Each structure stands twice: as structure tokens, then as C-alpha cells.
Amino acid sequence: MAKIHNLGFPRIGARRELKFALERYWKGDDTADQLEAVATALRKENWERQKQAGLNLIPVGDFSFYDQVLDTSFLLGNIPTRFQNSPSVSTLNQYFRVARGLSPDPQAEPVRAAEMTKWFDTNYHYLVPEFEAETQFELNPERLLNQIKEAQDLGYAAKPVILGPLSYLWLGKGHSGIQPLDLLEQLIPLYSRLLSEISRLGVEWLQIDEPILALDLPDSWKKAFEVTYHQLRHPGLKILMATYFGPLADNLTTIAHLPVEGLHIDAVRGRDEVTIVLDKISGYKTISLGVIDGRNIWRSDLNALLQWLKPIHEKLGDRLWLAPSCSLLHVPVDLEQEDQLPEGVAGWLSFAQQKLEELNILAIALNDGEDKVAGQLDVNASAIFNRRHSSLVNNVSVKEKLAQLGDDSFFRSDTFEVRRQLQHQALGLPLFPTTTIGSFPQTADIRRQRQQFKSGEISQEQYHQAMQEEIRKAVAEQEALDIDVLVHGEAERNDMVEYFGEQLDGYCFSRYGWVQSYGSRCVKPPIIYGDVARPKAMTVAWTQFAQEQTLRPMKGMLTGPITMLQWSFVRDDQPREQTAWQIALALQEEVLDLEQAGIRIIQMDEPALREGLPLRKSEWKNYLAWATRAFRLSVYGVQPATQIHTHMCYSEFNDIIGAIAELDADVITIETSRSDMELLDAFVNFSYPNDIGPGVYDIHSPNIPTQRAIVELMEKALKHIPAQQLWINPDCGLKTRGWDEVRPALRAMVNAAKALRLRHE
């Protein structure tokens, strides 16, 4: 009899209850007990949802106040030294201090927050573990154990979920010559003790996530799996090793004979590998197939899945488990809330709750016969057919434009050196020019006016006038701070992807389709269901209005094609590169209209370029080829005197620096503040030809940088990059910060630039 289970459920709540509880606590409006009460209620709701969906085993330990990797650091007592100077701070506040650099506890000094980076190739961010010479692990299992008891007391069949020791070490960063794998010997006894504690609670199955098995691993790490899991065997406790985000490939041999009782594999991204896995894995092991896509929102073709699963079920019997491909953290909670999707599109979609229901249909069909769910299977077949043949999906003119592209459609006609001279003459900027990344604080007043406009309380004209006033304020603030290149502040924009998607054909938006990006930061990804086209200009009027308020250069702000792709739920019925190029053509029209309106600096943000990389290096070349072409296509046709900027954040650049150069942006701005300029190591052995703005101000922390700190960071940058190539800017947009933080931070940034000019002119 096939069983169904889940690897993890969204923790933010169907209406972002966790987000709002966290932010109330950080502001001091709620107590720790009130925050814990919200968390307890959400866990119970999530467990009940999964039980009602028919799951045989329910994940426990997937809930987090901020990030599951940070939870593991606290579970293992791995707190970086710089956070240990306030022993009176509560564990909860210390946790938020590591995540944000600041906590509600007034006794806790502000400190540099832990580095944050992307979770594999998703849009989720995790807090990077730090390993120092002083690192000593200490098991703190109480929070996890209490959640297991909490679930058991409520009558749920708990399957605890923890991050495996090897993935934890791999995801971390060693300092002062520390190699993470060298710490494994110290870590294994703690995991062994943890398994003992879990076993004492009567738990039958424990899920240990080792997602690094989807990566290219050195031999030393492969060997470490055998050493580790032979030592982690525990009588009475069965281990389900979970891998996801891709096939095992050469790592299958590594784990085929490990002494674990079960193996979960991603049967969406690694479906072609399933037959090989079944042949190689020992006959006693439980095989969990991740057959429902945990990372996208399209309804699964259940009838096709059943035909594929039937012979597998006949072979495995009770040893077959079914699950989503990965944690459902990456999709919204419940489609049933949605009431504003285009007619027809909703029937093509499946959110977390619906994905569990799809699993249940599959299990019933396999275990009891398809006739038991014949009605559900017919509805599913109809939805799949309708989507495939819908006129909403296909736009003939867009396909014709793509077909007409030639090789010369992807390259600017002049070299960067020619463009630099023309841009210098046109713009007249000083050494170390200052700018910001695009957005300014989305104040309560701005959000209120947007809500009033959406609800019909104010007219479009009133909203338009209110946003123009916000633009005037943003321009005046920048001029008062003496910033060299201005932005309009993006007051009218709800989100850097959603704003554009709302104005493009082929896109639609959910009302409550929020997913967690990091901490309390939630995003509502657009849904790309059809061919993409631009019916009319999207940003020109706002940018032109902003330029009219100042004599200084005003940047036009756009989101690039790869980020528009990567931060959306993308149609899965055509290659991603075709969708990317469709978006690029739409953006190209906007770029040329901005230039025609007199805007001489245009920023095409691509923070998601690296996160789109396939996990296996053998596939990088193909992805980078079409991704960089999409960027160049989006700015093709601009005059050489028009300066093109791009922005990237929270990415390691060393291994793709050549591709970044291939973008041929005149200026690239990147995140470097949290990594203390370490990201600039990429430029040591690579002579990057164009201009660079290394971020000097960490906008994801409420800490305000000093002039001295910014100068010190820039002096580090100057060791790698000539002064003539350097810009000074924050590491990301300022949307989430308040003006009381932004003003002093930008003042320090401008003063640092002026000090550097005196030193280096």
C-alpha cells in the first residue's frame, strides 16, 4: 500500500500571519509569548491541513521563525563569536540578532548580521553558517523536541525533519583557513545524540535532508557520506534521507548502499533517473518519489502520472511512498482563497494544499483503484487539455518576433571603451560617483494610498498625483544628500517583478499567493501562463516626470528578463529560454522608449542571474549562453552614449565572472557589505573591463553604516579595482528601510565618496 507524506509545509500562514507577528515583535508591539502563540497556532493549522489531506506522515521541524539553516546553527550551538558579547540576551533575541544584526533587546549591541545567500537555485534565502577556529558545537535540541511532543500530543503522526550534517557543513563558510568538512568528526556525535533524543519520543521515521546530493561533490565529501551514516545508525529509528532539486547522477553510487531505511528523490527534475535508482537501491529500502512539483504551481497531469507509477507500485508495494519533489515552502498555501485570477487560469493551478490533495488522489488510485477517484481524474484531465489548447496561451505575433531574431540582435554596436568616453562626456560624473539601487522607503503613507486606490477609495488621478508628490520628495532628498545619479524612488511600484508583470500580456497575479523569501520578507510571484508582450509603456511617464524635477541624471529602473523569469512561476510547456527572450523583447521596447524620452542612464536589474544556474556545472554553459543573450537583447538598439547599469545581490560571482562580463553592462552594482568585500575576490584574477559599484551599505540590516566603515570597505575594493571604475552605492534597494535609517546611511555614503575623491584624485 503506497503511503503519502510531505517534506515541509509553508510556515508563513495563508494570510502571512507569521510575517506580521514577527514584525510586531521586532517593533516591540508584541511580547515573545505572543509571538510564540502565533507560531503554535500556525503549526497546528499546518499539521491539521496535512492530516485532512490524507497524509500518512506529517513533517515536524519544518516550521521556523526565520530560516531552517539558522535553526540548525542554533540546534548545534554554532553561534559566531561576534554575537557572544551580550550573554544576557534571550535565545530568541540572539537568534534574530544573528539574522538581522539587531534584536528587540536593548542590551544587545548592533552587529554585522550573518551572511545571506540563495538556497540552491530557488528564490529562498538562508543564513550562512560560519565556522571559525573557535567553533565548538553544543547540542540544543529542546525546541525541536518540544515541537515533536506538541504534534504527538495533538495526535499527529510526526515525521521530524532535520538538515543533515554534510549539507549543513557544505552550506557554511570557513574562516581563517577552516575547512568545513574538517568539522564533521566533531559534529557526528551531536547528531547521534539528537537521534537518540528523537527515538526516545517514540518516533518511527526521521527525515534527514541532504540536498547537496543534487550537486557536483568532491570525492572527499562523497566518502564522508558513508562514514557519517554508518555512525548515525540508531536502533528503532528509521532514517529517510531526502534529496531534491535535481537528479542524484554520480552521487547515486555514493548513497546506494548507505544504511538508511529510506530514500526520497526528486522525481520531477530527476524522473529519467528513477528506473536506475530502483535497480541500484537495496531491496529493503523504502523509496519516496517526489512526483508533485514542489517549486511550481501548475496542476499535475495525474492520469499520466498514474500510468507511470503503476508498474513501480507493483514492484515496490508498501515500500513506495509519494510526496512533493521538495518542501512546499516554495509555493503559496491555498488556491481556494483566490477570487481574482483570469477566468480559466485558476483551473490550471495547484498551491500547497492542492498539491497534497493531488497526492491523495494518486494514493487512492494506486491502493484502491482508479474508479474510486474517477471524478477527480476526469476533472484533472479536462484541466490539462484546456490549458494545452487555450487561446490565452498563444500569441502569434510574439512567436513571429522571436523567429526573426538574428545573431546581430544580441550585441551593442560599440565597444565599452568607446561607450565610456561618450558617456563621460554626456554625464560629466565625478570620481567615485554615488547612486542608489532604485527604491526608497515604502512608507506607511505610500502603502495606505496604494491600498485606497485598489479599494476604490481614491481615484486613479488622485493616486497618480500622490505618487508624483512622493517622487518630488525622493528627488529633493537625494539632492539634499548630494547624490550624483538619482532615482525616482519607485513609490508607485508594489514589487520589482509584480509591477512589470501587471502590465505585460501573458502574466497574471494571485491575490494571496505569497511565498517566503527570507525572514518576514514575502513575495507574491507573478504567474507566466502565456506568451509575453508589452501592450504599452510601463515606466516612461514616471521616469520622465522625475527627470523634470532635477538637472542631475535620473536613472530609468527596469527589472531584467532573467529576474522576471526566475522570480515568477513560469509556464512549463515551453523551454525557459523562449519565455526569457519574449520578456527581453518586451523590455527592449521599454528601454528604447525611455531613451527616446531623454533618459540617459537605464538600469536593468538582474539579481537572479546566478540563482538560475543549473546545479550541475555541466549544464551551466548552455544556461549562461541564453541568459546573457536575453539581457543583451533587452538593451539592444540603445545609443552608445546611453549608460546601461545592472544590479546583482547575494550571489557568489567567482565562477561566473566571465558570463557577467558577457552581459556588457556599462556599470554593474553588486552586494559586498555582508561579505566584507569578499565577493570582490572574483576580480583578482579576472580583469573586469567595465565599471563596478560594490555595495557598501547592507540594507537588509537596520544597522546604519558610518563614513569610516564605508571608506574602509572601498579601500579594500581599491586593492582589486582602479578608482576610475568604481561607483559607490548601497547593496540593494531601500524599499524595506525607513527614512530615519536611510538618510544618515546615505549621508555617510556621500561623505565617504567625497573623502575618497580627496585621497585619490
C-beta of residue 607 within 8 angstroms of C-beta of residue 564: no
Nearby residues of 203 by Cβ (< 8 Å), 6 or more positions away: 148, 158, 159, 160, 237
C-beta of residue 530 within 8 angstroms of C-beta of residue 392: yes
C-beta of residue 561 within 8 angstroms of C-beta of residue 631: yes
Task: Spot the catalytic one: 5, 645, 647, 700.
Answer: 700
C-beta of residue 654 within 8 angstroms of C-beta of residue 661: no
- Per the structure block, which three cell numbers stand in for 588? 527592449
Amino acid at 741: E
Residue carrying C-alpha cell 570582490: 680
- Per the structure block, which three cell numbers stand in for 330? 516554495
C-beta of residue 638 within 8 angstroms of C-beta of residue 632: no
Residue carrying C-alpha cell 505569497: 514
- Count other C-beta atoms under 10 Å from residue 52's C-beta: 12
C-beta of residue 113 within 8 angstroms of C-beta of residue 700: yes
CA distance 732 to 440: 10
State whether residue 94 is helix, strand or coil. Answer: helix
The closest alpha carbon to 61, from 171, 4, 137, 145, belongs to 145
- Per the structure block, which three cell numbers stand in for 649? 545581490
The closest alpha carbon to 342, from 528, 525, 602, 214, belongs to 528
- Per the structure block, which three cell numbers stand in for 322? 509519494
C-beta of residue 511 within 8 angstroms of C-beta of residue 340: yes
Q: Is 175 a catalytic residue?
A: no
Task: Supply φ then ψ for residue 176, to 5 degrees.
Answer: 55, 40
CA distance 469 to 302: 52
Helix H or strand E encompassing 160: strand 158-163
Number of H helices, E strands in the chain: 25, 22
CA distance 185 to 162: 18
CA distance 22 to 34: 10
Positions annotated as catalytic residues are 700
